[in-house]
Amino acid sequence: MATAAPTIEKDYFTDHSVLLDPYDYFETIRAHGPVYQMQGRDVIVVTGFAEALEVLLNKRDFSSWLNPDPLVPLPFAVESDDISALLDANPSGQMELMVSYDGDKHLAARSLLNPLFVPSRLKANEAFMRAYADDMVREVVAAGGCELVNRVATPFVTMVIADLLGVPADDREAFRRIIDEAPPPGNMDTPDGQSIHPLMVMAGYFARYIAERRAQPQDDVMTEMAMARYPDGSTPDAMEVVKSAMFLFAAGQDTSAKLIGNALRRLCEDQAMQQALREDRKLIGPFLEEVLRVEGSTKATFRIAARATKIGDTDVPAGKRVVVALSAANRDPRRWDDPDEFRIGRPKIKEHVAFGRGAHTCAGAPLARAEVAVLLDRLLEHTRAITLDEAQHGPAGARTIAYEPSYIIRGLANLHVRFEGV
Ligand code: HEM
């Protein structure tokens, strides 16, 4: 009979038990220091909070080139202490996205999102999310229960991004279907390449919108995106605008939907906390920050050393791949007291790195915070109690909870809940 590998020898990217639950793995390797050379791969895993910041803030020596696929092969041999020019000269995948760009190219791509993240646009979007969430919640509460992640959270966050971008109402259902059918990023149980496909389909829609708005400007958000200029005043290639818009779905959909699942599961398991939030909705914000710290939906982001450098005392050669384990940094005992304990109201809680840090800090963090808070608020408003459906997940003490087998996303595959309406 085959015996399981000790935790230290498990592979972060492929070992099913680690994909499903990374926390034990991270703690085992943390015992070997905050910067750990993985066995069997040319990869360093960073579990320390200070060290994670060091990597994320050092954009000179660490490139985002291999995001979001940390295992993509290098198209050249590493023969010097500085591969930055080679990284710049070679595309990192079949579809490069903002999250993999460096330097000025990255700043330029990110600037295309500026029209979306202005207060007036976010305010209008918040009105949409409140009304949409209220409708969805009323419907599922009236039914007495539902599967929350796929039935509520995913369509909700998809529609919020579609509204933010000004996707025409007639196309929104099609978007929802495309996204519903896609597996989460980094999911190791789906065949190669399958996860990129929905983005390609959506790119087709956006290419049409942008071309139409450039030919015939209208008074809408999509026109603002279509007409946006780079910081140097030049006009972006239409495809770059398409990719920026599309990337919002890739970056903001599973992440937010899974955060909703993680948050709700916690509230179901702690009825006293649920009731406290129901009675004082101002607690929702601090509660969510602690969920982001203890069980944020992005486990890790990835970098490659563009130059020979260091993380803490550890020498890092050029070409070394780095897993920045955000969820481990968020539980580093050198930064957080009793890190595994869930405590609402920790001082400086927003310093957690669930949204990354530095040049690539999550552009959608304010939106993510708002949409998850709004949905929780509506759920608490229309219920007296929300509980786990024990017919699906088993009784307390013997729960069956399925997580996505992803090396990027920490989130439930499904969450069946029961509602006691008001
Ligand atoms: C709970 C929800 C979310 C989490 C945990 C999350 C997490 C992250 C993280 C960790 C990064 C940094 C990646 C890196 O350093 O390489 C990131 C980047 C990004 N996120 Fe989010 N995200 C969430 C929701 C959203 C939403 C709702 C949107 C937009 C609608 C969004 C848009 C982006 C974009 C555009 C980037 C790339 C920024 C860049 O490369 O400059 N995210 N996100």
* Closest residue to atom 39 of ligand 1, CA basis: 360
Q: What is the pLDDT of residue 8?
A: 77
pLDDT reading at 196 higher than 70? no
Question: Can you tell me which atom of ligand 1 is nearest the CA of 371?
Answer: 27
Instruction: Quote the ligand 1 centre to 16 CA distance (angstroms).
Output: 25
Distance of CA 30 to the CA centre of its chain: 23
* Closest residue to atom 40 of ligand 1, CA basis: 99
Q: What is the pLDDT of residue 295?
A: 98
Q: What is the mean pLDDT of the chain?
A: 92
Instruction: Quote the ligand 1 centre to 383 CA distance (angstroms).
Output: 31
Instruction: Quote the ligand 1 centre to 71 CA distance (angstroms).
Output: 20
Burial tier of 166 (Cβ tally within 10 Å: 0-12, 13-18, 19+)? buried
pLDDT reading at 101 higher than 90? yes
Task: Convert the pLDDT of each residue in 267-277 to its tens digit.
Answer: 999 999 999 99
Collect all residues with Cβ–Cβ distance below 8 Å to 102 and sequence separation of at least 6: 59, 63, 64, 65, 87, 88, 306
Distance of CA 312 to the CA centre of its chain: 26
Q: What is the pLDDT of residue 4?
A: 65
Q: Which residues line ligand 1 at a C-beta cut-off of 6 Å?
A: 64, 67, 98-99, 110, 161, 247-248, 251-252, 255-256, 259, 296-298, 301, 326, 354-356, 360, 362-364, 367-368
In percent, the amount of the chain with pLDDT more than 90 equals 77
* Cis ω for the linkage preceding 68 (within 30 of 0): yes
**Span 397-420, average pLDDT:** 96
**Span 301-321, average pLDDT:** 97
Instruction: Quote the ligand 1 centre to 251 CA distance (angstroms).
Output: 5
Q: Vertex 219, ends 215 and 223: CA angle to 5°? A: 45
| Letter string b/e over residues 58-76, b meaning 16 or more CB atoms within 10 A of that residue's CB | bbebbbbbbbbbbebebee
Q: What is the pLDDT of residue 421?
A: 95
Which pTM value belongs to this model? 0.94
Best residue among 46, 92, 255 to mutate for probing ligand 1's pocket (most ligand atoms within 8 Å of CB) is 255
Instruction: Quote the ligand 1 centre to 246 CA distance (angstroms).
Output: 13
Task: Convert the pLDDT of each residue in 5-36 to its tens digit.
Answer: 677 789 999 999 999 889 999 999 999 999 99
Per-residue tokens: 174: 């099609």
Task: Convert the pLDDT of each residue in 136-179 to its tens digit.
Answer: 999 999 999 999 999 999 999 989 999 999 888 888 888 777 76
Per-residue tokens: 245: 């818009």
Instruction: Quote the ligand 1 centre to 80 CA distance (angstroms).
Output: 32
With bands split at pLDDT 50, 70 and 90, how would you rate the model's confidence at 194?
A: very low
Instruction: Quote the ligand 1 centre to 141 CA distance (angstroms).
Output: 30
Question: Can you tell me which atom of ligand 1 is nearest the CA of 97?
Answer: 40
Q: How far apart are CA 114 and CA 3, in angstroms?
A: 53
Q: How far apart are CA 403 and CA 412, in angstroms?
A: 4
**Span 257-264, average pLDDT:** 98
What is the residue-wise DSSP string for 106-118?
HHHHHHTTTTTTS
pLDDT reading at 195 higher than 60? no
**Span 346-372, average pLDDT:** 97
Pairing of strands 383-388, 416-421: antiparallel
Highest CATH level, class, for 7-421: mainly alpha
Best residue among 321, 350, 355 to mutate for probing ligand 1's pocket (most ligand atoms within 8 Å of CB) is 355
How far apart are the two ends of the chain, measured CA to CA in Å?
54
pLDDT reading at 289 higher than 80? yes
pLDDT reading at 55 higher than 80? yes
- Closest C-alpha to 108, from 231, 227, 210: 231
pLDDT reading at 106 higher than 60? yes
Instruction: Quote the ligand 1 centre to 402 CA distance (angstroms).
Output: 24
Collect all residues with Cβ–Cβ distance below 8 Å to 5 and sequence separation of at least 6: 15
pLDDT reading at 204 higher than 70? yes
With bands split at pLDDT 50, 70 and 90, how would you rate the model's confidence at 1?
A: very low
Question: Which segments of 244-319 are extended strands (E)?
Answer: 301-305, 309-311, 314-316
In percent, the amount of the chain with pLDDT more than 70 equals 94
* Closest residue to atom 19 of ligand 1, CA basis: 362
Q: What is the pLDDT of residue 3?
A: 56
* Closest residue to atom 11 of ligand 1, CA basis: 362
Q: What is the pLDDT of residue 284?
A: 98
Q: How far apart are CA 177 and CA 5, in angstroms?
A: 40
Looking at residue 151, what DSSP letter applies?
Answer: I
Contact 129, 396 (CB under 8 A): no
> Domain residue spans in the chain?
7-421
Which of 246-250, 257-261, 288-292 is the least confident region?
Answer: 246-250
**Span 217-241, average pLDDT:** 91
